[in-house]
Copies of this chain bind each other. A is one copy, B any other.
Amino acid sequence: MSSTEKKYIYTFKEGKKDMKFILGGKGANLAEMTNLGLAIPQGFTISCQACLDYFDDPEGFIEKIRLDVMEYIKKLENETGKTFGADKNALLVSVRSGSPDSMPGMMDTVLNLGLNDKAVLGLAEETKNERFAYDAYRRFIQMFGDVVMGVELEHFEEILNKYKKAKGEETLDTDLTTEDLKNIIQDYKALYKKHIGEEFPQEPIKQLFLAIRAVFNSWNTKRAVTYRKINKIPNFGTAVNVQSMVFGNKGWDSGTGVAFTRDPSTGEKIKFGEYLSNAQGEDVVAGIRTPKKLDDMKEEFPEIYTELINTMDNLEKHYKDMQDIEFTIENGKLYILQTRNGKRTPQAAIKIAVDRVKEGMITKEEALMAVNPNIVSNLLFKHIDEKKADMSKLITQGINASPGAVTGKVIYDADKTVQLAEKGEDIILVRPQTKPDDIHGLFAAKGVLTQFGGKTSHAAVVARGMGKPAVVGAQALCINLEKKQCDLGSISIQEGEIITIDGATGKVFMGEIPLIDPEIKGEFLELLQMADEIRAMGIRANADTPEDAKKAIEFGAEGIGLCRTEHMFMAQERLPVVQQMIMSETDSERQEALDKILPMQKSDFYEIFKIMKDKPVTIRLLDPPLHEFLPELETVLLEHQELKLKGGSKDEIELKEQVIAKIRSLSEENPMMGLRGCRLGITWPQINEMQVKAIFQAACELKKDGINAIVEVMIPLIGDINELKFIKKDLVKIAAETIERYGVELEYNFGTMIEIPRAALTAGKIAEEAEFFSFGTNDLTQMTFGFSRDDAEGKFIPIYLESGIMKDNPFEILDQEGVGRLMKMAIKEGRGTRPDLKCGICGEHGGEPSSVIFGHDIGLNYVSCSPFRLPIARIAAAQANIINKK
Contact call A669/B796, Cβ cutoff below 8 A: no
Residues of B within 8 A of A821 (CB): 761
Least CB distance from A725 to B in Å reads 8
Contact call A791/B675, Cβ cutoff below 8 A: yes
Indicate if A785 sits at the interface (CB-CB under 8 A).
Answer: yes
Least CB distance from A600 to B in Å reads 27
Contact of A786 among B783, B792, B796 (CB under 8 A): B783
Per-residue B-contact encoding for A789-824, CB less than 8 Å = 1, 0 else: 011100110011001111000000001011101100
Contact of A722 among B720, B726, B761, B804 (CB under 8 A): B804
Residues of B within 8 A of A717 (CB): 786
Indicate if A228 sits at the interface (CB-CB under 8 A).
Answer: no
Residues of B within 8 A of A756 (CB): 784-786
Indicate if A496 sits at the interface (CB-CB under 8 A).
Answer: no
Least CB distance from A25 to B in Å reads 29
Contact call B818/A788, Cβ cutoff below 8 A: no
Contact call B674/A671, Cβ cutoff below 8 A: no
- Given A634-B634, A641-B641, decide whether A786 and B779 contact each other with a Cβ distance below 8 A: yes
- Given A719-B818, A723-B805, decide whether A784 and B799 contact each other with a Cβ distance below 8 A: no
For the complex, give the distance between the alpha carbons of A795 and B642 in Å.
31
Residues of B within 8 A of A788 (CB): 668-674
Indicate if A691 sits at the interface (CB-CB under 8 A).
Answer: no
Residues of B within 8 A of A726 (CB): 803, 805
Contact of A795 among B638, B675, B755 (CB under 8 A): B675
Contact call B679/A796, Cβ cutoff below 8 A: yes
Per-residue B-contact encoding for A64-86, CB less than 8 Å = 1, 0 else: 00000000000000000000000
Per-residue B-contact encoding for A854-873, CB less than 8 Å = 1, 0 else: 00000000000000000000
Interface residues on A, range: 35 or more
CB interface residues, A 611-666, toward B, < 8 Å:
633-634, 637-638, 641-642, 645-646
Per-residue B-contact encoding for A663-700, CB less than 8 Å = 1, 0 else: 00000111111110001001100000000000000000
Contact call A669/B669, Cβ cutoff below 8 A: no
Most buried by B among A761, A762, A785: A761
Contact of A791 among B673, B720, B779, B804 (CB under 8 A): B673
Least CB distance from A328 to B in Å reads 47
Residues of B within 8 A of A799 (CB): 682-683
Indicate if A831 sits at the interface (CB-CB under 8 A).
Answer: no
- Given A637-B637, A675-B795, decide whether A762 and B804 contact each other with a Cβ distance below 8 A: no
Residues of B within 8 A of A803 (CB): 682, 726
Residues of B within 8 A of A272 (CB): none
Residues of B within 8 A of A779 (CB): 786
- Binding site of A, secondary structure by majority: helix, strand, loop or mixed? helix
Residues of B within 8 A of A758 (CB): 784-786, 815, 818-819
The chain B residue with its CB closest to the CB of A677 is B786
Indicate if A500 sits at the interface (CB-CB under 8 A).
Answer: no
Most buried by B among A642, A779, A786: A786
Indicate if A757 sits at the interface (CB-CB under 8 A).
Answer: yes
Contact call B670/A791, Cβ cutoff below 8 A: yes
Least CB distance from A661 to B in Å reads 13
Residues of B within 8 A of A670 (CB): 670-673, 788, 790-791
The chain B residue with its CB closest to the CB of A765 is B817
Indicate if A782 sits at the interface (CB-CB under 8 A).
Answer: yes
Indicate if A787 sits at the interface (CB-CB under 8 A).
Answer: yes
Contact call B805/A722, Cβ cutoff below 8 A: yes
Least CB distance from A611 to B in Å reads 33
Residues of B within 8 A of A755 (CB): 786
Least CB distance from A302 to B in Å reads 60
Contact call A719/B786, Cβ cutoff below 8 A: yes
For the complex, give the distance between the alpha carbons of A726 and B799 in Å.
12
Contact call A682/B805, Cβ cutoff below 8 A: yes
The chain B residue with its CB closest to the CB of A727 is B805
The chain B residue with its CB closest to the CB of A640 is B638
For the complex, give the distance between the alpha carbons of A805 and B787 in Å.
27
Contact call A761/B795, Cβ cutoff below 8 A: no
The chain B residue with its CB closest to the CB of A723 is B805
The chain B residue with its CB closest to the CB of A797 is B679
Per-residue B-contact encoding for A744-761, CB less than 8 Å = 1, 0 else: 000000000001111001
For the complex, give the distance between the alpha carbons of A779 and B818 in Å.
17
Residues of B within 8 A of A819 (CB): 758
Most buried by B among A634, A717, A784: A784
Contact call B757/A817, Cβ cutoff below 8 A: no
Least CB distance from A151 to B in Å reads 37
Contact call A761/B818, Cβ cutoff below 8 A: yes
Contact of A817 among B723, B762, B782, B786 (CB under 8 A): B762
Residues of B within 8 A of A646 (CB): 645
CB interface residues, A 817-856, toward B, < 8 Å:
817-819, 821-822
Residues of B within 8 A of A806 (CB): 720, 722
Contact of A672 among B633, B673, B795, B796 (CB under 8 A): B673
Least CB distance from A730 to B in Å reads 12
Contact call A782/B673, Cβ cutoff below 8 A: yes
The chain B residue with its CB closest to the CB of A756 is B786
Contact call A682/B800, Cβ cutoff below 8 A: yes
Least CB distance from A656 to B in Å reads 13
Contact of A683 among B641, B669, B796 (CB under 8 A): B796
Contact call A673/B795, Cβ cutoff below 8 A: no
Residues of B within 8 A of A762 (CB): 817-818
Least CB distance from A517 to B in Å reads 37
Nearest 3 A-B pairs (CB), nearest first? Answer: A670-B788, A673-B788, A758-B818
What are 6 A-B pairs with beta-carbon distances under 8 A? Answer: A641-B642, A673-B673, A674-B791, A682-B799, A683-B795, A761-B818
Besides A717-B786, A722-B806, A757-B786, 7 more A-B contacts (Cβ < 8 Å) are: A634-B634, A668-B790, A669-B791, A670-B791, A722-B804, A723-B800, A783-B783
